[in-house]
Structure 1
Amino acid sequence: MGGPTGLAPRGYRGHVRNAITERVAALRLQPVRPAGWWFDALLVGLFALLTGVLAAGGLLGLDTATHDWVVSHQTQATFWLARVFNFLGQGTPLTLISLAIALFLAVRRRNIWPILPVVAAFLITGIVIMPLKIWTERAAPGYEGPNAVDLFNSTIPAGEYDVSYPSGHLVNTVVWYGVIALLLAPWLNRTARLWLRIAPPAIVFVTTIYLDYHWLTDSVAGVLLGVFISRLIDRVPWQLPSREPQSSDR
């Protein structure tokens, strides 16, 4: 005899349960390394601590000494070499490259998921970076007015560059290469993805300071903020194509 009228067959109910379980699993936050939220709290705490120390006058001597060393050790050849490598941290080209990869994946997969992390990175960096820069009112190392290295320097004349802290170059570099590594995961092993996330920020960190675009602590703050944002983006279940683990990934 058949089951009670109106009840779905047992096999169908099991299929629905499995589909729901898979959907819920797909919406879980993705793992990051180091695991847990303690590292994110540490990044935010270090950024806040660094900002507070600078506002109180600490580490300004280190920034000034680094600036003086850079200015006295620049040559024409090293300046232009550093400037070329510094283009690795330009926000607009990185955004366009990320968008191009995302559009390719979106067309290939026939869904918009690959575009979403690009949109998220663009919005978060825009919302976070510029308000902090405006709030902290720090001049660039090339500023020749009084208290050039200070945070919250209200003496900077209108029209002068006063948005040096934190370094947008470093935030953009960390975040956008993280997005690119996320999108290219099907074609890159773990080692390649790690190099993509570390090498460009390291190069931009050194060249930005050497070119005297930013104070040393501007760049440190940019790295802390960039890693925090990148980890937030990595945690989201974007439904992107994944790469099957291979021996080189373990």
Structure 2
Amino acid sequence: MRLRPVRPAGWWYDGLLLAALVALTVALAGGHLFGLDRAVADWAADHRPTAARWIAMIFNYLGQGTPLALIALGLGVLLAVRLRSVRPLLPPVLAEVLTYLTIGPLKVWTARPAPSASVKEPFLPPEQTLPLFQDGLPVRFAQSYPSGHVANAIVWYGVLALLLAPLLRTFGRTVPPRLVTVVRVVPPLVVLCTTTYLGWHWLTDSVAGLLLGLLLDRLLRRAPWDDLPLPGRLRRWDHPFTAHP
């Protein structure tokens, strides 16, 4: 099995993403960057008219993990039927496993409230909404870091882009590379901006979600989907589906 190519090539970039995520977490644990987070959150609160708020809320749905996972699984099933192969089901399944084992546990471990925790339940003092590791709070009030919306958007739109090209090829259509790039890039950026603008996450929460999402996306893009070993009973449904970029 040979890993699929990614850009930038090499594991150094993965290490850089991981190091940046660790450094950001350590900085926040030490009480740094709170001024930046507060300044961005206060600016957003002062520039959030009702119309802009509703527009941001609508666009933020682009980062809902469960609907994206179901759409990706649906594309995988459709492609599996058309190609008579179980391999298109592997990316959605592995993406679900990776996001489940990383995003949620990190949120619970870091235990950080959202900016909105000072204006709605549990109505914390503004200065108490910034620190990490607030284990005394109920879990539902301390799951802001990292942003799951941003990380999910990067992972799931990457999976959708991976499945969309071969699916359209089965209908005799091709996907321009620029469109694949748009699918991968635009929704996560929209989600990052809206989730921060709405006060649902601190800016550093969104940046952490971005770093984690990029790291997970690179792991998924490397996977040799057409070469992974499958049980012998699936031999009749074992056909390649990916195309190298």
TM-score above 0.5: yes
The partner residue of 1:162 within 130, 138, 142 is 142
The match for 2:241 is 241
Q: Number of paired residues?
A: 218
Rg: which structure is higher? Answer: 1
The match for 1:6 is none
Distance 1:189 1:58 in 2: 43
Letter in 1 for 2:175: L
Instruction: Give yes or no for contact 2:144–2:201 (8 Å, CA) kept in 1.
Output: yes
How far residue 160 of structure 1 moved from its aligned partner, in angstroms, is 4.9
Letter in 1 for 2:83: R
Q: Answer yes or no: is 1:174 the counterpart of 2:148.
A: no
The partner residue of 2:207 within 220, 243, 246 is 220
Distance 1:160 1:65 in 2: 25
The match for 2:236 is none
How far residue 150 of structure 1 moved from its aligned partner, in angstroms, is 0.6
The partner residue of 1:113 within 78, 82, 87 is 87
The partner residue of 2:191 within 204, 208, 214 is 204
Q: Answer yes or no: is 1:47 the counterpart of 2:47.
A: no
User: In structure 2, the residue corresponding to 1:164 is in which secondary structure?
Assistant: coil
The match for 2:134 is 153
Letter in 1 for 2:199: D
Distance 2:214 2:111 in 1: 23
Instruction: Give yes or no for contact 1:60–1:149 (8 Å, CA) kept in 2.
Output: yes
The partner residue of 1:183 within 155, 158, 163 is 163
Instruction: Give yes or no for contact 2:14–2:215 (8 Å, CA) kept in 1.
Output: yes
User: In structure 2, the residue corresponding to 1:188 is in which secondary structure?
Assistant: coil
Instruction: Give yes or no for contact 1:185–1:241 (8 Å, CA) kept in 2.
Output: no
Q: Which runs of 5+ in 1 are unaligned?
A: 1-26, 246-250
The normalised TM-score by structure 1 is 0.84
How far residue 155 of structure 1 moved from its aligned partner, in angstroms, is 4.2
**CA-to-partner distance for each residue in 1:6-48, whole Å, 9 max, x for gaps?**
xxxxxxxxxxxxxxxxxxxxx2100000000000000000000
Structure-2 change in CA distance of 1:159 and 1:183 (3 Å): closer
Instruction: Give yes or no for contact 2:111–2:139 (8 Å, CA) kept in 1.
Output: no
Letter in 2 for 1:35: A
Distance 1:244 1:179 in 2: 14
How far residue 152 of structure 1 moved from its aligned partner, in angstroms, is 1.0
Structure-2 change in CA distance of 1:80 and 1:39 (3 Å): same
Distance 1:210 1:140 in 2: 12
The share of aligned pairs that are identical, in percent, is: 50
The partner residue of 1:87 within 57, 61, 64 is 61
Q: Using the TM superposition, name which of 146-155 and 38-47 deviates more.
A: 146-155
Instruction: Give yes or no for contact 2:91–2:159 (8 Å, CA) kept in 1.
Output: yes
How far residue 242 of structure 1 moved from its aligned partner, in angstroms, is 4.0
Distance 1:68 1:242 in 2: 46
The match for 1:66 is 40
The match for 2:233 is none
Instruction: Give yes or no for contact 2:4–2:244 (8 Å, CA) kept in 1.
Output: no
Structure-2 change in CA distance of 1:159 and 1:133 (3 Å): closer
Q: Highest relative contact order (Cα 8 Å, sep 6+), 1 or 2?
A: 2
**CA-to-partner distance for each residue in 1:31-79, whole Å, 9 max, x for gaps?**
0000000000000000000000010111011011111111111001000
Distance 2:10 2:139 in 1: 43
Distance 1:82 1:59 in 2: 25
Instruction: Give yes or no for contact 1:95–1:118 (8 Å, CA) kept in 2.
Output: yes
Q: Which runs of 5+ in 2 are unaligned?
A: 119-123, 167-173, 227-239
